[in-house]
Amino acid sequence: MSTPEPNPISGIHHITAMAGDPQRNLDFYIQCLGQRLVKTTVNFDDPGTYHFYFADATGSPGTVLTFFPWPHARRGRAGTGEANAVAYTVPSASLDAWEERLRDFGITPGERQTRFGEPVLPFQDPDGLRVELAGVDDPPTVDHWQAGPVPESMALRGFHSTTLLVAATGPSAALLADYFGFEEVGSEGSRTRFAAPGSGAGRAVDLVQVPNQGRGHLGAGSIHHIAFRARDDADQRAWQARLLAAGLNVTDVRDRQYFHSIYFREPGGVLYEIATDGPGFLTDEPAAALGTSLKLPPWLEPRRAEIEARLPAITRPGEAAA
């Protein structure tokens, strides 16, 4: 019996990065960027470490930036085989307000750029992660966190794109175009953009060819992996079979409680994940309480006392109903 063809990848599901101090990470992404903490849990492979999920009001795919914060972690070093920037979509008219807001929080933005005809405001988060705000005249709609500190008129509208550093563009481009179904939509110097069809959040991946930069080194401020969307478990299994047939070393399915995941390294060395859209973040908390307590999967729940004793103390901001 032949394996069914998977559906084309519709865009980014989530992006996972590394941070240092967990309280600083929480404060910046909630208070400055206005992202809701939709889940407080732990790294399932290292339960002594938090795993924070920041997103829109309900954790919609394409809006979720997650962090593993390790206190006292050394800074990472940018290089090939890694993603090195997270770009969010914002309304174009809000960029001046964002520049002022970032300065109010002690962040000095970089010089505003124009990329593929769109204005881009770059800056670094407190751990050195490169974040970009891409101004779009007609941004996609997300589930705005009404109780958050940023008004809807300037709020982040999910991911715009991510940037991957590669030694050679060709192999990474072939995977995006020939397998994922992305289309090459532009090239500027060493940067080539690929985009999934449609108009939702997180459609674009930029490949930047830097053959002489050397390999990246993970640390605070580094992006750990990029996760792409699968509609459901059956679609994910079809992707697993297709990628294995292409000679890629794909993991078995991992239960991440809020989605199921498979992992592999794309030809340029970047760690990719394909994650299911469901079951989502409402599976163990009501919408009004998302992120307000430590949630553990069933297989770690018997160790709750031990895990809580090992985790650094944090203060989560109180949240009203979304």
Q: What CATH code is carried by the domain that includes residue 59?
A: 3.10.180.10
Q: What mean pLDDT, rounded, does the chain reach?
A: 96
197: containing domain? 12-310
Within-domain flag for 6 = no
Reported as type and span, the H/E element at residue 254 is strand 254-255
How confident is residue 270, by pLDDT bands cut at 50, 70 and 90?
very high
Please state, in angstroms and rounded to a whole number, the distance separating the CA atoms of residues 91 and 138. Answer: 7
Looking at the chain, the whole-number percentage of residues with pLDDT higher than 70 is: 97
Within-domain flag for 298 = yes
Task: Name the CA dihedral angle for 86, 90, 96, 100, rounded to a multiple of 10 degrees.
Answer: -60
Within-domain flag for 183 = yes
Within-domain flag for 122 = yes
Average pLDDT of 189-194?
98
How confident is residue 318, by pLDDT bands cut at 50, 70 and 90?
low
pLDDT tens for each residue of 218-248 = 999 999 999 999 999 999 999 999 999 999 9
Average pLDDT of 266-276?
98
Within-domain flag for 71 = yes
pLDDT for 2 beyond 70? no
pLDDT tens for each residue of 136-190 = 999 999 999 999 999 999 999 999 999 999 999 999 999 999 999 999 999 999 9
pLDDT for 322 beyond 90? no
- Give the gyration radius of the chain's Cα atoms: 19
Within-domain flag for 297 = yes
- CB distance 124 to 78 below 8 Å: no
Among 238, 237, 180, 232, residue whose Cα is nearest residue 4? 238
pLDDT tens for each residue of 67-122 = 999 999 999 999 999 999 999 999 999 999 999 999 999 999 999 999 999 999 99
Burial class (CB in 10 A: 0-12, 13-18, 19+), 45: exposed
pLDDT for 316 beyond 90? no
Could you give the C-alpha distances from 50 to 4, 41, 286, in angstroms and in order?
A: 37, 6, 21
Give the chain's domain count.
1
Within-domain flag for 268 = yes
pLDDT for 319 beyond 60? no
Within-domain flag for 317 = no
